[in-house]
Amino acid sequence: MKPSIPKGTRDFSPVEMAKRNYIFDTIRSVYALYGFQQIETPAMENLSTLMGKYGEEGDKLLFKILNSGDFLRGVSDDDIHQKSTNQLAAQLCEKGLRYDLTVPFARYVVQHREELTLPFRRYQIQPVWRADRPQKGRYREFYQCDADVVGSDSLLNEVELMQIVTEVFRRFGIRVCIKINNRKILTGIAEMLGAADKIVDITVAIDKLDKIGLDNVNAELKEDGLTDEQIAKLQPIIQLSGTNNEKMATMREVLKDSAIGLKGVDEVEYVLNTYGKTNQPTDACSLELDLTLARGLNYYTGCIFEVKALDVQIGSITGGGRYDNLTGIFGMPGISGVGISFGADRIFDVLNQLDLYPASVVSATRLFFVNFGEAEEAYCLPIIAAARQAGIPCEIYPESVKMKKQMQYANAKQIPFVVLVGETEMQQGKLTLKNMETGEQSLVSPEELLEKVF
């Protein structure tokens, strides 16, 4: 019987890993250009750190680690029979696997507050675990790839995060639209209508404008319990269109009586204008004010953003926003922050669908030496060493088996150049180099070899 892995988890093959490393290395380099520093936190956190941070549903989705040794010590029969599954689990388990990178980061900031110089720009690329029901595209172990700036209210941080997003997707060659909104604008709209509880219903209904048309949107809003007067007031927002500047002008008019709403518009305007000083909107990347964007309302407090790929039908591939009081849950109030999270799994799929991986990503070894026997091997070894010294990834087949088998190996690894050395080559102090793509063969000296395959 073949061994297997737990459902919802994955092995990553060499090709998948090469592609994932390309994604993570690209993001890492851009983060570094902006002065973000990497941290790592342990896979296991105390359950007291994790519990209660993701809602009741989240608590159930935490993977809990059975205490070592006699885990039943102190657990009575009554505990077993009368306590809820969750309560009993808390008795049997002190630790759990991290569910995201945000709560461990908040814990990190509080625990290490004395060592940190604020603003702290950190990034973190690590797996997280959720006991979710696995389904297509949803895994029980997956990587998150987060960058946050904490300890600064400046909107320049938002701008730099937008620049990072722009640069990362430029490097990938993925055309994107960055959607931006501001939680304060949504609060302003609710305030203006006197309907704070309806803001989610409103954004959901507005979002359907393209699909179902204005009349149906208005009908839906009525069903949601909005009065005719409220719906009338909403018309300029539902039908909001034009450039970002035109949209902002409309919003200023609509929200003229809401201080918080106007502040939201101010913030978006600053971010758009400042971003515009260094980044012109192009076909490959534009920044668009989108009032229907309403992600994680309970968490975010200022600007929010999401990135949509233009050429692939897929959910948002990056998102983030500003939040207040990240560390309040651990007794350190007043730390505001703003962050983004790249969706590595979706980016992986988009790059695959658009076939955007550079060729060098998939075929790592450039040069393969066929092994024809002891003498030939001895002849090749110093040449191989020199090639590696020059930075060229090389392999020699470790045994002098049939050439067909060796070539199959080179093909399976998609190695672009193959070296053949027999009697003739050894007598002349040369090598035969075969370009596997063109089939072309040439007799070269060891020095010429390095030039040809570099």
100 to 159, contacts with a copy of itself by CB under 8 A? 107-108, 110-112, 115, 117, 119, 121-122, 127, 129, 131, 140-141, 149, 152-154, 156-157
Name residues contacting a copy of itself, limited to 318-357 (CB under 8 A): 330-331
Is 194 a residue that touches a copy of itself (CB under 8 A)? no
Q: Which is nearer to a copy of itself, 107 or 179 (CB)?
A: 107
Please tell me the distance from the alpha carbon of residue 299 to that of residue 58, in angstroms, as a whole number: 15
Q: Which is nearer to a copy of itself, 290 or 377 (CB)?
A: 377
Is 187 a residue that touches a copy of itself (CB under 8 A)? no
Please tell me the distance from the alpha carbon of residue 187 to that of residue 260, in angstroms, as a whole number: 7
Identify whether the C-beta of residue 372 lies closer than 8 Å to the C-beta of residue 419. no
Q: Which is nearer to a copy of itself, 66 or 232 (CB)?
A: 66
- Residue 301 phi/psi, 5-degree rounding, is -130, -15
Identify whether the C-beta of residue 351 lies closer than 8 Å to the C-beta of residue 357. yes
Q: Which is nearer to a copy of itself, 170 or 208 (CB)?
A: 170
Q: Which is nearer to a copy of itself, 297 or 361 (CB)?
A: 361
Is 71 a residue that touches a copy of itself (CB under 8 A)? yes
Is 57 a residue that touches a copy of itself (CB under 8 A)? no
Q: Min. distance of Cβ 252 from a copy of itself in angstroms?
A: 21
Q: Which is nearer to a copy of itself, 106 or 254 (CB)?
A: 106
Name residues contacting a copy of itself, limited to 154-183 (CB under 8 A): 154, 156-157, 160, 163, 167
Which residues, other chains included, contact 326 with Cβ-Cβ below 8 Å and sequence gap of 6+? 102, 105, 106, 109, 150, 335, 336, 337
Cα 330 to chain centroid distance, Å, stands at: 26
Name residues contacting a copy of itself, limited to 371-410 (CB under 8 A): 377-378, 381-382, 384-385, 388, 391-396, 398-399, 408-409
Closest alpha carbon to 393 in 372, 363, 421, 419: 363
Please tell me the distance from the alpha carbon of residue 166 to that of residue 168, in angstroms, as a whole number: 6
**Cis amide leading into 446 (omega within 30):** no
DSSP code, position 96: E
Q: Min. distance of Cβ 318 from a copy of itself in angstroms?
A: 19
Q: Which is nearer to a copy of itself, 45 or 269 (CB)?
A: 45
* The one segment of 6-14, 257-265, 286-294, 350-358 that binds a copy of itself by CB under 8 A: 6-14
Please state, as a whole number, how many other Cβ atoms lie within 10 Å of the Cβ of residue 135. Answer: 8
∠ CA 210-182-229, rounded to 5°: 60
Name residues contacting a copy of itself, limited to 14-43 (CB under 8 A): 14, 17-18, 21, 32-35, 37-43
Identify whether the C-beta of residue 143 lies closer than 8 Å to the C-beta of residue 125. yes
Is 89 a residue that touches a copy of itself (CB under 8 A)? yes
The strand pairing partners of 96, in sequence order, are 45, 64
Is 95 a residue that touches a copy of itself (CB under 8 A)? yes
Name residues contacting a copy of itself, limited to 271-310 (CB under 8 A): 274, 277-279
